[in-house]
Structure 1
Amino acid sequence: MNLKKTPIALAIFSVLSTAHAADSAKTNLDSVIVTANNAPQSLKSVTSNTTVITAEDIESHQYQTLQDAMRQVPGLTTYSNGGLGTTTSLFMRGMGGKNILVLQNGMQLNDPTLTDGTTNFANIMLDDVERIEIIKGPQSGVWGANASAGVINIITKKGGKRASVNFEVGSNNRKKLAATLGAGNDKVDFTFNFSDLSTDGFTAIKKYKTSGAGDEKDPFAQQEASFNLGINLTKQQRLEAFIKHGSGNSESDYSTPNTSSSSTYESTLRQIQYLATLGDLSTKLYAQDSHIRRGYPAYSSVYEGKVNQFGAQADWHYADKQQANFSLTSKQLEDLQKSNSYYNQAASLNNTNQLFGERWTVTEALRHDEYNQFDNKTTGKIGTKYHLMPKVFISANVGTGYNAPSLYQLTNLSTQTSKLKPESSTGYDATLRLFGLTLTYFNNEIKDELVTDSSYKYYNQNGTSKYDGVEASYKRSINAINSDFTLNFTQQTAKDKDGKWLARRPEQQGDLTFDYFGLSQTHIGVQTKYIGTMYDKANQKGANIGNYSVTDLVADYQVNKHLSVYGKVQNLFNEDYTPAVASYESDNVTPKYVYNNGGTLWFVGVRGKL
């Protein structure tokens, strides 16, 4: 199902040109409370380009992993080196995973033992998730290091009365059991979540232009459990505790099929916080840590990292619709196997003013970070949003960001340097929303980027990498046919200091989502993702692995208020696209072995709720 660049662009923008039609979306997200500026506030008052994926979205579109949910977000690109559990990459506006700070309830998921401090995207499941906030643009002025492209904050379900269980089966002997139980009163509340997913999988690597049938399969299994507890000490004081543990094992291939490489993964998140409200002042004291352990039995290798953080925050509503947030944090990143670590202390200030009856919003952020092993950084951002009408606004943001050297990079120095310093970045974007249409232009630059020499040792290179582009999104509810319609399109460039294209960044991408509710108690949805020109190697070398589209089909039927059945077919038309190339023929253009997308996959399930 190849789509040519010009037809899809014309089709998308011809539809976008009808954006003057009334915006009657069923869910009003403007009133949703988010943490984009590290303090609770309505989405309407956030100037940064922010996307919120709710638990309802996750359930109706049958998103299983963070990667699934990110595929439909404008400006985000993702691919895996095989099936579930294999290495997964995520790009935001062309910038890689090291530039994206990933949090769960404010706790850092970036792995300090990975070479560039990115996140294990393959192991993030969504069964206990209430919403996902994606904040694009430099956010280091709010969140600190590794937020130069943006932030993904995953918020889990809070305590309260709820109970659900669902069971799934699918292709490749896929089986999943997930359950949620919650209860509470005005004194105490809790939520417990559990999930167990396993599959025989499919071969991660296959010979180019073959199905991979007959090659060995690469299985995957992962279990997760989380517990959220809240105790109301008084009407103004609350104590919250959260713990989550996940473990899994997977197999993948290296270079060729039938070359099994197994790995294990373990993650533990722990957080305790004290919340108090004193009139117009809300305060929070917290302690948290994240512990990640990765093992590779075939190589007798173990990687074990930990992030410890303590902090205090104060959110002051000093006037009507005027809000300031103060924050002090202390963080330690550790490599437990190598007994290596560094420390970070930070102070930050955020301010948001809503003026003229909430029509005009102005926000500012300033943060100073101090480190014991490399240079300190001061970053900030300024944003503004003006509503000409309730569904019409213009906004603009400018900010600075940085990426801290990872523990691995600090101990693997090139002979070209005696000391590493943080990468620094600047970026801005401007947005126009006109009823259901949203148009955004973005521009980001990174200086002093950390790269490797011929011996794979790290140094800061001179020069500036540049990323810019346009994002377009159109959302509409078509009440006459009981349907919702979403169309996204991104045109971008991602180039290094020499003006050469970076690898595996598509020049354009788009997606179409159509949800039909016209049948009694039934929802049917179709999602099509288009990837334009994209080369496997830098400087547009190697194979062009883009110019394809993939369609998923979802459906669910509400049997009664307590029981529903659902299903999903991924890659409905069995598109033989290539996520990435594993090795090449002698011409370095024709792929020899490629990573496998698995072809058409499906699962069905039943969900019970009280």
Structure 2
Amino acid sequence: MKRSRQKYAVALGLVLAVCGSAVAEEKTTQLGEVVVTATRDEVPIEQVGSSITVVTAKEIEQQQKRTVADALRMVPGLDLVRTGSFGGTTAVFMRGAKSEHTLVLIDGIEMNDPSSSGGGYNFSNLTTDNIERIEILRGPQSTLYGSHAIGGVINIITKRGDGKLKGFLSAEGGSFATARENAGINGGTNLLQYSLSVSRLDTGGVSAAAERYGNTERDGYQNTAVAGRLGITPTSNSEIDLTLRYDRSRTSVDNGGGAGKDDPNHIMKSDELFFRSQGWLSLFNGMWDQKLGGIVQ
């Protein structure tokens, strides 16, 4: 009788040991969300002392956000101001600071316009095409990012292709002669990773000048966006990363809000292009990392 009890006890102990090790193994493989903006290195978000919010591609798609400005409107601590309708100058104010005190990055490239007064960034034409996530870091970050980051940092990270080749194609239409088309591909292997997105938005718009004063000419808007990223990984300790983004927009602008302020010939044009190439090489078991890159903007 005692031997049978001992056998049962041993068997029960083995079962508990196996289950415990399986649970322990499962816990060790679970990884939390990681951010890079707070410390300029990969850190679990729960270990970040600063106030940070992450907007993912899944959230952007679920809420049907077509511009980055619309995606940022749901983030606490941000105030977005746009002059007029589509294509109007759009500024972000973070925690009461000026718009030029918010640093905007796309894949590490500083997007703030040095030619504008104050050096702020205009979000009017930036679409959500090919964007994987947006990290919004609130509060002074001048130590890491310089004087443009007094209010905070908005870091936009584009998609990196993986898995089998996937493609998508969509078309939308609505009021005021509005139409949007979008297409793209995404995929990758251990050697090559790629993602590409192309979109076009056209809208007849409405008159920004008051119609009660006889202003009936609609202020149309057109936007074409191309966004792509290519990664090449020849070895486990080296990588080449190429990023391209092009936005072309045309916006009809009125001369004011009073009588006779319609101007069908006043067109605001914008062409934005940036290209980044970067090579990375790690030597001596990760003790020496080397990066070399170039930017065209």
d(CA) in 2 for partners of 1:245, 1:139: 28
Match of 1:77 in 2: 79
d(CA) in 2 for partners of 1:166, 1:82: 27
Letter of the aligned partner of 2:294 in structure 1? Q
d(CA) in 2 for partners of 1:285, 1:74: 35
Deviation of 1:94 (Å): 1.3
The answer to whether the Cα contact below 8 Å between 2:198 and 2:227 also exists between their aligned partners in 1 is yes
d(CA) in 2 for partners of 1:172, 1:282: 57
* Matching of residue 48 in structure 1 with residue 50 in structure 2: yes
d(CA) in 1 for partners of 2:63, 2:243: 27
* Matching of residue 251 in structure 1 with residue 252 in structure 2: yes
Match of 1:87 in 2: 89
Letter of the aligned partner of 1:135 in structure 2? L
d(CA) in 2 for partners of 1:179, 1:284: 36
Match of 1:233 in 2: 234
Cα distance 1:198–1:213, how it changes in 2: closer, same or farther (>3 A)?
Answer: farther
The answer to whether the Cα contact below 8 Å between 1:107 and 1:290 also exists between their aligned partners in 2 is no
Match of 2:276 in 1: 271
The answer to whether the Cα contact below 8 Å between 1:230 and 1:240 also exists between their aligned partners in 2 is yes
- Find the residue that maps to 1:67 and give its secondary structure: helix
The answer to whether the Cα contact below 8 Å between 1:274 and 1:286 also exists between their aligned partners in 2 is yes
Higher RCO (C-alpha under 8 Å, 6+ residues apart): 1
Equivalence map 1:438-517=2 (5 Å): none
d(CA) in 1 for partners of 2:214, 2:66: 25
d(CA) in 2 for partners of 1:282, 1:251: 53
The answer to whether the Cα contact below 8 Å between 1:271 and 1:286 also exists between their aligned partners in 2 is no
Cα distance 1:238–1:214, how it changes in 2: closer, same or farther (>3 A)?
Answer: same
- Find the residue that maps to 1:285 and give its secondary structure: strand
Letter of the aligned partner of 2:246 in structure 1? H
Cα distance 1:284–1:36, how it changes in 2: closer, same or farther (>3 A)?
Answer: farther
* Matching of residue 176 in structure 1 with residue 177 in structure 2: no
d(CA) in 2 for partners of 1:264, 1:71: 25
Cα distance 1:122–1:234, how it changes in 2: closer, same or farther (>3 A)?
Answer: same
RMSD: 2.2
The answer to whether the Cα contact below 8 Å between 1:29 and 1:43 also exists between their aligned partners in 2 is no
Deviations 1:381-419 (A, max 9, x none): xxxxxxxxxxxxxxxxxxxxxxxxxxxxxxxxxxxxxxx
Match of 1:285 in 2: 291
Equivalence map 1:396-415=2 (5 Å): none
User: TM-score with structure 2 length normalisation?
Assistant: 0.81
Match of 1:215 in 2: 216
Match of 1:112 in 2: 114
- Find the residue that maps to 2:69 and give its secondary structure: helix
Deviation of 1:284 (Å): 4.7
Deviation of 1:168 (Å): 1.2
d(CA) in 2 for partners of 1:84, 1:131: 23
d(CA) in 2 for partners of 1:30, 1:203: 48
The answer to whether the Cα contact below 8 Å between 1:82 and 1:203 also exists between their aligned partners in 2 is no
Deviation of 1:47 (Å): 1.6
d(CA) in 2 for partners of 1:141, 1:75: 21
Cα distance 1:282–1:53, how it changes in 2: closer, same or farther (>3 A)?
Answer: farther
Cα distance 1:79–1:229, how it changes in 2: closer, same or farther (>3 A)?
Answer: same
Moved more, 38-47 or 66-75: 38-47
d(CA) in 1 for partners of 2:53, 2:31: 9
Match of 1:262 in 2: 267
Deviations 1:482-535 (A, max 9, x none): xxxxxxxxxxxxxxxxxxxxxxxxxxxxxxxxxxxxxxxxxxxxxxxxxxxxxx
Equivalence map 1:535-550=2 (5 Å): none
The answer to whether the Cα contact below 8 Å between 1:109 and 1:290 also exists between their aligned partners in 2 is no
Deviation of 1:30 (Å): 4.3
Deviation of 1:276 (Å): 2.8
Letter of the aligned partner of 2:262 in structure 1? N
The answer to whether the Cα contact below 8 Å between 1:194 and 1:225 also exists between their aligned partners in 2 is yes
Count of aligned pairs: 261
- Find the residue that maps to 1:221 and give its secondary structure: strand
The answer to whether the Cα contact below 8 Å between 2:223 and 2:250 also exists between their aligned partners in 1 is yes
Match of 1:532 in 2: none
Higher helix share: 2
d(CA) in 1 for partners of 2:146, 2:204: 40
**1:68 equivalent among 67, 70, 79:** 70
Match of 2:132 in 1: 130
Kindly, what percent of the aligned residue pairs are identical?
Answer: 31
Letter of the aligned partner of 1:267 in structure 2? E
Give unpaired runs (5+ residues) of structure 2. Answer: 1-29
Deviations 1:263-285 (A, max 9, x none): 11111111111123343447352
Larger Rg: 2
* Matching of residue 163 in structure 1 with residue 167 in structure 2: yes
The answer to whether the Cα contact below 8 Å between 2:215 and 2:262 also exists between their aligned partners in 1 is no
Higher strand share: 1
Match of 1:197 in 2: 201
Match of 2:15 in 1: none
Deviations 1:143-168 (A, max 9, x none): 12311000101111112243222211
Equivalence map 1:297-376=2 (5 Å): none
Cα distance 1:155–1:284, how it changes in 2: closer, same or farther (>3 A)?
Answer: farther
User: TM-score with structure 1 length normalisation?
Assistant: 0.41
